[in-house]
A = this chain, B = another copy of it.
Amino acid sequence: MLGGGLIGLAVAWRAALRGMRVRLADPDPGGGASTAAAGMLAPVTEAHYGEERLLALNLRSARGYPDFVRELEDATGLPCGLEARGTLAVAFDRDDRAVLAETAAYHHRLGLESVALSGREARALEPMLAPGVQAGLLVEGDHQIDNRLLHAALLKAAVDAGVRVHRSRARIVVEHDRARGLLLENGEMLAADQVVLAAGCWSSETPGLPPGVLPRVRPVRGQILRLMMTEPHLLTRTVRATVHGGYVYLVPRAHGELVLGATVDELGFDTAVTAGGVYELLRDAHEVVPGITELPVVEMRTGLRPGSPDNAPLLGPTALPGLIAATGHHRNGVLLTPVTADAVSTLLAEGALPGYAAGFSPERFASPADRNGTFR
């Protein structure tokens, strides 16, 4: 297993529970997007026209989340901060409202549950919303999890289940056109029949990976801020807003943290927090909830989302025998953690992806030549 973020740890944990011997390499488990993210579990408010196949996978993962978390909390005794408090999308001007109305119509066509609200109704739910909020859309089924707690629990669960974690960079070792394991920085070889690549936005840059084996996974920077609320909390549920064409979300944690996110910057591996990114997040969030002004800023950081060519995950066998992908989750890594763990651990144990995941195989990007066994 290469990668100790949420995806890598969840797959490793599940595989170990199925009796497999699992070793995992990561120089800094949880140092990437897993702990930067806001932890929204929002298949409905994240549903985009034309991505219905991804929506089905997202919904499956969301449905499985409560059981997944219960099992993880029981196994570790650690809380994961799953909060089933719903999500409220809001809009300001005429154009923002048109976007929201389109979203509502789309939900309706697909049979997804959401309730259109007036500005007044939205403020009745969240009284600190600005007077300028003109319309809302309540999605009772979109929740949140504290992804930092989740990561900590998964790390403990994996280790307790027998996963050996090596804090090291690693190189994929290929022999006779097959992945044979990982070579650690200290020279140690982790021989393996199956190697899972879960290195997020660094997946297609992994040392030793032959060219063309995996579609390109690109880094998509998100800048994200964390404020601290005083009691009583400014917000009780996640609020997502289109603000004069801009977009921002505010995710309130039970312990008082308020997560503001996130930019979507296609700028390579640059992890800077920029003046413009911070400015726009604060400007838009202030427009939605003016009361944030007095809140302390306790963190500003970035994460690099792993974006595949179609922004859907890459799950399953790659063009290199023995190498399995669990990457490319883009904006949905936290949400897709349970379903990815189930699908990839099933593949590892039984040799085939479950039907619901088959459409996400990296082979969907293969050209006809690849199918004949040559790498791009």
Interface residues of A (CB under 8 A from B): 225, 227, 272-276, 278-279, 282-283, 285-286, 292-297, 300
A278 proximity list for chain B (CB < 8 A): 278, 282, 297
Partner of A276, one of B225, B294, B300: B294
A296 touches B274 (CB 8 A): yes
A283 to B296, CA, bound (A): 18
Q: How far is the CB of A288 from the nearest CB of chain B, in Å?
A: 12
The copy count of this chain in the complex is 2
A225 to B272, CA, bound (A): 15
Chain A interface mostly? helix
A275 proximity list for chain B (CB < 8 A): 225, 227, 282, 285-286, 292-297
B295 touches A297 (CB 8 A): no
A274 touches B295 (CB 8 A): yes
Partner of A300, one of B286, B293, B295, B297: B297
A285 proximity list for chain B (CB < 8 A): 275
Q: How far is the CB of A285 from the nearest CB of chain B, in Å?
A: 7
Task: Please name the 6 residue pairs, one residue from A and one from B, whose CB atoms are nearest each other, closest first.
Answer: A276-B293, A272-B296, A279-B282, A275-B292, A273-B297, A275-B295
A276 proximity list for chain B (CB < 8 A): 286, 292-294
Q: How far is the CB of A269 from the nearest CB of chain B, in Å?
A: 14
6 interchain pairs, CB-CB under 8 A: A274-B294, A274-B297, A275-B286, A275-B295, A275-B297, A278-B297
A293 to B274, CA, bound (A): 7
CB closest chain-B residue, reference A283 = B279
